[in-house]
Amino acid sequence: MNPSRSIRAMAFFAAAMVFLGAAGPAGAAPATPFKVGIAAPTVNMLPLWMGQEAGLFRARGLDVEIVNTDGGSRGLSEVGAGRLQAMTVGLSAVIDANNKNGDYRLIASGANTMSFRFFGAKGITGAAALKGKKIGISAFGSESDSAASMALKQLGLTRRDVTIVEAGGTLKRLDALKSGALAATALNEPADTQAQREGLPLLVDLKADLPWIFTAIVTDRNYLAAHKGAVKDFLRAYVEAIYVALSDAPRAKAVLAREFKDFSPAIIQATYDDFKARVPRDATPSRTGAETMLKELPAFGTPVKSTNAADYVDASLVEELRREGFFDAMKKKYGVE
């Protein structure tokens, strides 16, 4: 055979193999790109990380990319602009955004109770020491913003008594608290337990069983209507990832340890325990939580245009999955109640 023809044939064959590999198995449709934002790396992101690690999103035909937006309210604006397909954020941010002419819907919940504790920097042991100082939140309108207002109220203070500043995600705020750049902030796992172990003063424990949609999957209402199938597949994979994490503790803790490299095994264990205690097995948003928030947020200075939960929460896809027997199938498959 002519050497040049042989070389051209091999090059053609190699290119064909690359093409076929990218296309997947014969007849398989290409995966649908699906970008989901996170406000910060915290315990509540475990289903997303587990879904990727276990290949659950890919199995549903989705090419999921997780994007850290360093604040929930910031991430919602990316959803509204079409640069993200969904955002993991609490209901406070949805209410705030919809009050500002957004049109978002919270479609599934990752935690239905308040999950923050409010810590001070070293030397900040009470309300008097906080006056005039900086309080860190991730972004205005976020759950950490609501938590700050809630904590200040319990301390007998108002937002006018302090300076509220945007200071990034939970881990960034922990670092700022340790350095003294912030006087106080709300933290959840793993930063919560880390702060306790480092002796930072616990000013207010908000981590009671207060009904509160603390973190959830949120999308734009128009995107949801136009891409219902893709969003439903995302929820199937998200919920299955919850069951994988609950049924396989070593695997779940290995994923957490990979994401939180600077934290000890004891902190990882506490983080996993918090996940188990708070995650709703069926991802159903708490109606009581929504009603509580719509009642409480105006007292914290967050205007609420509508007190109708349906203007912020759409659990129709979760209910479809329930009617189809999906949750029962997950319980049976993974042996988790």
CA 179, distance to chain mean position in Å, is: 26
Write out 313-327 in H/E/C secondary structure. Answer: ECCHHHHHHHHCCHH
Amino acid 174: pLDDT: 98
Residues 6+ apart with CB under 8 A from 14: none
| Alpha carbon distance, N-terminus to C-terminus of the chain | 66
| Rounded CA separation 299/319 (Å) | 32
CA angle 175, 176, 178 (to 5 degrees): 65
Helix (H) or strand (E) holding 213: strand 211-220
| Rounded CA separation 257/251 (Å) | 10
Contact 48, 88 (CB under 8 A): yes
Amino acid 12: pLDDT: 41
- Report the DSSP beta bridge partners of residue 78: none
Contact 134, 181 (CB under 8 A): yes
Amino acid 73: pLDDT: 83
Amino acid 27: pLDDT: 53
Which residue pairs, CB below 8 angstroms and at least 24 apart, start in 291-294? 291/211, 292/210, 292/211, 292/212, 293/91, 293/92, 293/95, 293/146, 293/212, 293/213, 294/95
Buried b (16+ CB within 10 A) or exposed e, 195-221: bbeeebbbbbebbeebbbbbbbbbbbe
Q: What is the mean pLDDT of each run of 10 residues along the chain (337 residues)?
A: 44 40 53 96 97 98 96 90 97 94 97 96 97 96 94 96 96 97 98 97 91 97 98 98 98 98 97 97 96 93 92 98 98 95
Tens-digit pLDDT profile for residues 177-189: 999 999 999 999 9
| Residue entry with tokens 């708490």 | 286
| Rounded CA separation 275/279 (Å) | 6
Amino acid 23: pLDDT: 41
Three-state secondary-structure class, residue 12 = helix
Buried b (16+ CB within 10 A) or exposed e, 75-96: bbbbbbeeebbbbbbbbbbbbb
Amino acid 21: pLDDT: 40
| Rounded CA separation 167/193 (Å) | 20
Tens-digit pLDDT profile for residues 119-174: 999 999 999 999 999 999 999 999 999 999 999 999 999 999 999 999 999 999 99
Amino acid 332: pLDDT: 97
Contact 88, 215 (CB under 8 A): yes
Amino acid 277: pLDDT: 95
Amino acid 337: pLDDT: 85
Residues found in the chain? 337
Helix axes 46-53, 249-259, angle to 10 degrees: 110
